[in-house]
Amino acid sequence: MNNGTSKRLPVLITGGAGFIGSNLANSLLESGERVMILDNLSRSGVERNWKWLKAQHGSAVELVEADVRKPKEVTAIVREAGAIYHFAAQVAVTTSLEDPEFDFSVNVLGTLNVLHAWRNLASPPPLVFTSTNKVYGSLPDVDLREHEGRYEPVNDRIRVCGISEAQPLEFYSPYGCSKGAADQYVLDHARTFGLPALVFRMSCIYGPRQFGTEDQGWVAHFLIRAQERGRLTVYGDGMQVRDVLFVEDLVRALRLARENLPRLAGQAFNIGGGPGNTLSLLELLNQIEALDRRPEVEFADWRPGDQRYYVSDVTRFTRATGWRPSVGVGEGIRRLHEWLKQSDKGAAVACART
C-alpha cells in the first residue's frame, strides 16, 4: 500500500477550505507538499480561506469545487490523491435537527462516496477522518457535581484523565447519528478491507481562520460577539466544561496520524486539549472580559444532547505517537483574539453574522 510519504501525488483534503482544513493545508504546503482541496464553498468564510491559501502558495494548491454527495465527482478526485483527510461535513446539531435528511446525505452518504472511491484504488493511500465527541451522546452515565462554578466528574479517574475511548457510544441528535455512522464506516473499512484509516473523535478546536457561529466554533463566536459589541446566547447554565485544543496542535496530531498509518489503522482516538486545557463557558466570558469587553449574555434552555462535561483522555494517541498539546488555554485565546483584531477582523465578524 501507498504509505503517503511520496510527494509526487497531492494530499487531498475534503472540506479543505474550512477552518481545520485550511490550517492543515497551509502546514503541508509550507513543508513542500502539494495539496488538492475538495470543497463546495458553502460555509460562510471558507472562500476567504481559499483565497488566502492561493495567495500564499500559488499553483502548489488546487481547488476542486465539488460536493462529496456526488460520487462521480468524488471518484475522479480521489484517484489523484497520495493521502486523504476527510473533513467535509455538516457540522451543526441545530441544522441536523431542522433537516436530518441533508445532514445524513452529507455526513453518511458523502463519507461512503469517499470510502468507495478510496477502497477501489489499486493502492489506497492513508486516510484520516475527523469525527466528534458527540458520538458519546450526553454522557448520562458520568455522574457530575458542581465545583467552583463548573461541572466536574465524581469519578476520580475521569476527573483526572478525561473521557477515554472505552466510553460506550451513544448517538444523540441526527448530527450525532450521522457522524457516528460515518465514524463506524471508516473503522469498518480499515478492519474489513485491511485499509490504512483511522478516526479522530475531536473535542473543541479553536484558532485562526475560524469564523465561529452560535452552532459551531463557540470560542471564536464568543470573541467575535465581544468585538462587535453584540449579545450572545448561552444554552444551559454556562458551567458546562470542555477541553479546548488550539488548531496548531491539532495539525501536528493530524500529520502524525498520517505518518503512523497503517500501524494505527482501524483505531479511533479521542483528540482534544485534555485535562490540562479545560474551560467552562462562564470562564471563557471572564477571559474575554480581561482581553476586550464582556459581551451581553442571555441564557436559554439546554439543547438536545448537550454534554455538561466533556474532556478528552488523549493518553492512547500520546502513547502511540508522542503527541501532546503545547498551546495553553490562555495563550491560545490571546492568539485567536489578536488574529480577529487584524486586517480581516471586519470580514470575520461579517461572516459570523450571515
Angstrom distance (rounded) from CA 117 to CA 125: 11
Would residue 309 show up in a list of annotated catalytic residues for this protein? Answer: no
- The C-alpha cell 480521489 sits at 78
Question: 3-class DSSP state for residue 91?
Answer: coil
Q: Which of 151, 172, 175, 309 is catalytic?
A: 175
- Alpha-helix residue ranges (DSSP H) falling in the chain: 19-30, 46-57, 71-78, 93-98, 100-104, 110-119, 156-161, 173-193, 218-227, 247-259, 281-291, 315-321, 329-341, 345-353
305 neighbors 137 (Cβ within 8 angstroms) = yes
Give exposure, 317-349, as e/b (b: 16+ Cβ within 10 Å).
beebbebebebebeebbebbbebbeeebeeebb
List the grid coordinates of 346: 471586519
Q: Which residues form the catalytic set?
A: 175
